[in-house]
Amino acid sequence: MTTERFMLALFDRAPQHIVEHLILVGIVLVVATSIALPIGIFLTRSRYRRYSDPIMTVLNAGQTIPPLAVVVMFFPILGLGFKSALYALVIYGLLPIARNTIAGLAGVSEDIKEAARGMGMPATKVFFQVELPLALPVILAGIRTSTVITVSTATLAGLIGAGGLGRLIMVGLTMNWGEFTIVGAGLGALMAILIDRVMNVIEHKFGPPGTVVEIE
């Protein structure tokens, strides 16, 4: 291990790969939230609850596949690069958001909803002004869990040429440069911890007063 190679990895190569990693994670979270949040809302409506078991079984299946397998399985279909990593990581990030959306909305007391309806609020207002704000802390906890999973799993995207901090690890393993591997793995772990802390602050800041419940 040499100081020169360590500094090269940390200050010359790492900044670009950090940006690539954050871009990939950001896009994955936007797409996963856009899909999983409506699914969670859909499955809490009385007329659609019968679809809950089969849909959640599919989402659970996506989560039980090892992260490396999820990333690699898109390689034969989409080839190397960003697109394969994006599809794989979105699939892996859906379950925590959908599950917590269902848990949060199901946890809103029927008495509170009935009281809102008794005040003459239409169903749309009851949802947006009563149910969603009360469920928000649990939903944010799901997004937080999905974010941490995505940050960690995105490191494996370097295996299929999608860039990010995994690229540093791959270079280190290929060239037998331990400095690159340490920098890539260390920055990936640090990023996951920092983002978790930031999401925790957001969770408490924008959620309604009271205890924030995390559904694991």
Alpha helices in 74-177 (DSSP H): 75-78, 82-106, 110-118, 123-126, 132-153, 165-175
Q: What is the value of pTM for the model shown?
A: 0.85
User: Residue 211's pLDDT is what?
Assistant: 43
Model confidence at 197: pLDDT above 70: yes
Confidence band, pLDDT 50/70/90 cuts, at residue 194? very high
Q: What is the mean pLDDT of residues 11-40?
A: 93
Question: Domain map of the chain by residue range?
Answer: 3-206
User: Residue 212's pLDDT is what?
Assistant: 42
User: Residue 216's pLDDT is what?
Assistant: 40
Task: Supply 204's token pair.
Answer: 């408490």
Model confidence at 210: pLDDT above 70: no
Q: What is the pLDDT of residues 58-108, one digit of tens each?
A: 888 877 887 777 777 777 777 777 888 888 899 889 999 999 999 999 999
Q: What is the pLDDT of residues 144-172, one digit of tens each?
A: 999 999 998 888 887 777 888 888 888 88
User: Residue 95's pLDDT is what?
Assistant: 92
More confident residue, 123 or 30: 30
**Shortest CA distance to 127 belongs to which of 138, 118, 139, 116?**
116
Q: Quick check: 104 and 135 in contact, CB under 8 A?
A: yes
Confidence band, pLDDT 50/70/90 cuts, at residue 208? low
Q: What is the mean pLDDT of residues 17-35?
A: 94
Residue 87 CB-half CA count within 13 A: 16
Class of domain 3-206 (CATH, top level): mainly alpha
